[in-house]
Amino acid sequence: MLNIGKPLPKDHAEVAKHVKARLFDEERKKRIFNPTIRTIGIDKDALDRQVQEKKILREEEQAKQLAYSNKLLQDCATSLQLDEQNKKKQKEIDLEILEFRKKYQAPETRREYDIYDPLQCRKGQPIRIGDDDPRITLSSVQRFEGEESVTKEQKAEQIQQQRVWLEMQIREKNMTREENKNVERTWQETEHTTVQRAQALASLENECRKKLIEANYRYNQALASEQKMNKSIMEAECNEDKMAEVYNAITGDFLTENPELGFNSALGPGKILKSLYKGLTPAMKQAIYDEQANQRAELKKRKEAFDKQEKDWAELLNILARCGTLNDREMQKKKSSNRPGNPTTRKPNILQNKSPTKSIPPSIIITNPLINQMGDSNLLDLSISIGKQSHKILWNALDLQRALLLIQKNWTQIFLFSAIRFNPISFINEDQPMESIY
């Protein structure tokens, strides 16, 4: 046989460990494969335990409240019962006290009761019962000699007399009663009349009060309407004042920034207040704009005059250049004709040189207003300035020999200017060829 033997404590611990791990895995599987716990991501068992614990706590709290209420009701009942017992005991004590007072403390047992006894007159005896009163002794001297004793006749007369007196008293009482009735009747009539008069006066007073109330109501209505109208008028005036204030504020110098305030200085005219200076006024701006427009117009006029003068000068220079070219060609022809061995030598025509306009056809001559406006002295200055300008231009562009030739040409142009000045027609047409001059 296989002899296994008893398990050791170590084996028990290992078995318990495996069992605990298996239970933990099973619980973990339940949590993992449970869609509620897996989707929401919470521990439902823990929440259920919390809910159960809260429910148990709530039930315990309710039980405590119920026990407290029951104890409170029991205490209240006990206190009511004890209160009833105390009241009953106090009532019994009060009854015993009253019984004791009735039995042992009666008013008759007091020493001074005879002083304020209400039945003292009934209980007491008259001072003298009669002549045979045993309480009266000889020293009392109640009866004298010769005194009449009381008889039946005297008693009857006394009774009759008392009856008469009583009848008289009754009659007087009746008369007094009738008089009182009459007085009462008269008083009632008077009171009734007074009441009627008071009612009439009260009705009149009520009517007067109603009329006064109506008059007060009408007066109050009129006063209220007047106050309402005054209030509406005041509100309208207030609104108008507000609108005027807003309009004045909007159109005032502060918001509109009136530039004229800066020029109203107390230091004098022409001074500017720096704190209120808002720029130039429209009139000043317009004056500046007008001045600028005038300056532009004047500048435009000057420019047009300058352009016109430049154009005239350019035209004049062009004419002078053509004259110089023509003169240059004429001088070259003269030089070529004056050479030795040239059979075609021509003598210069002095008259033709003095009056070059005679050889110019009328079809190529135009008037020049600039030359007609120039005087003799201005003509000389013009020729000198043209010579200087030509000298300056040619000095920078050509060599010295070319410059001397151009200066010589300019002197020829001076003579041409002199001839043109004294001749009312001048100068050469631009479309005419240069050879047509000759």
In a domain, 1, yes or no: no
Q: Is 428 helix (H, G, I), strand (E, B) or coil?
A: strand
User: Do 387 and 410 touch, CB atoms closer than 8 A?
Assistant: yes
pLDDT of residue 380: 45
Give every CB contact of residue 136 below 8 A, 6+ residues apart in sequence.
Answer: 128, 142
User: Distance (Å, rounded) from C-alpha 141 to C-alpha 172?
Assistant: 41
Could you count the other beta carbons within 10 Å of the beta carbon of residue 122? 7
User: Do 371 and 417 touch, CB atoms closer than 8 A?
Assistant: yes
Burial class (CB in 10 A: 0-12, 13-18, 19+), 390: buried
pLDDT of residue 268: 73
pLDDT in tens, 382-399: 544 554 444 444 334 344
Average pLDDT over residues 295-319: 91
Q: What is the mean pLDDT of the chain?
A: 76
Q: Which of 438, 437, 382, 436 is nearest to 410 (CA)?
A: 382
pLDDT in tens, 51-105: 999 999 999 999 999 999 999 999 999 999 999 999 999 999 999 999 999 888 8
pLDDT(310) > 80: yes
In a domain, 419, yes or no: no
Task: Check whether residue 56 and residue 108 sit in a common domain.
Answer: yes
| Domain finish residue from 84, 112, 140 | 112
| Domain finish residue from 112, 130, 152 | 112
Residue type, 220: N
pLDDT of residue 37: 64
DSSP state of 139: G
CA diameter of the chain: 246
pLDDT of residue 395: 39
Helices marked H in 252-281: 253-256
Q: Which residue has the tokens 């001088």?
A: 331
Q: How far is CA 23 from the centre of its chain?
A: 74
In a domain, 366, yes or no: no
Token pair for 435: 């050879």
In a domain, 26, yes or no: no
Structural domain that includes position 69: 50-112
Token pair for 431: 């479309």
In a domain, 36, yes or no: no
Least confident of 96-110, 183-197, 261-275: 261-275
| Domain finish residue from 251, 285, 308 | 251
In a domain, 234, yes or no: yes
pLDDT(405) > 90: no
User: Distance (Å, rounded) from C-alpha 405 to C-alpha 397?
Assistant: 14
Burial class (CB in 10 A: 0-12, 13-18, 19+), 101: exposed
DSSP assignments along 337-370, one per residue: HSSTT-TT-----HHHHH-GGGGS-GGGB---HH
In a domain, 423, yes or no: no
Number of domains in the chain: 3
pLDDT of residue 249: 85
pLDDT in tens, 107-148: 888 888 888 888 887 877 777 776 677 777 777 777 666 666
Average pLDDT over residues 399-422: 47
pLDDT in tens, 23-54: 998 888 877 777 766 666 667 778 889 999 99
Q: Which of 366, 382, 363, 365 is nearest to 374 (CA)?
A: 382
Residue type, 148: E
Q: Which of 122, 142, 141, 139 is nearest to 130 (CA)?
A: 142
Give every CB contact of residue 361 below 8 A, 6+ residues apart in sequence.
Answer: 432, 436
pLDDT(363) > 50: no
User: Distance (Å, rounded) from C-alpha 416 to C-alpha 327?
Assistant: 10
Q: Which residue has the tokens 């007072």?
A: 101
Q: pTM value?
A: 0.25
User: Do 408 and 332 touch, CB atoms closer than 8 A?
Assistant: no
Helix pair 282-337, 400-421: axis angle to 10 deg: 100
Q: Which of 416, 256, 250, 238 is nearest to 321 (CA)?
A: 416
User: Distance (Å, rounded) from C-alpha 405 to C-alpha 353?
Assistant: 19
Average pLDDT over residues 414-427: 42
Which residues, in sequence order, are bridge partners of residue 428?
Answer: 365
In a domain, 183, yes or no: yes
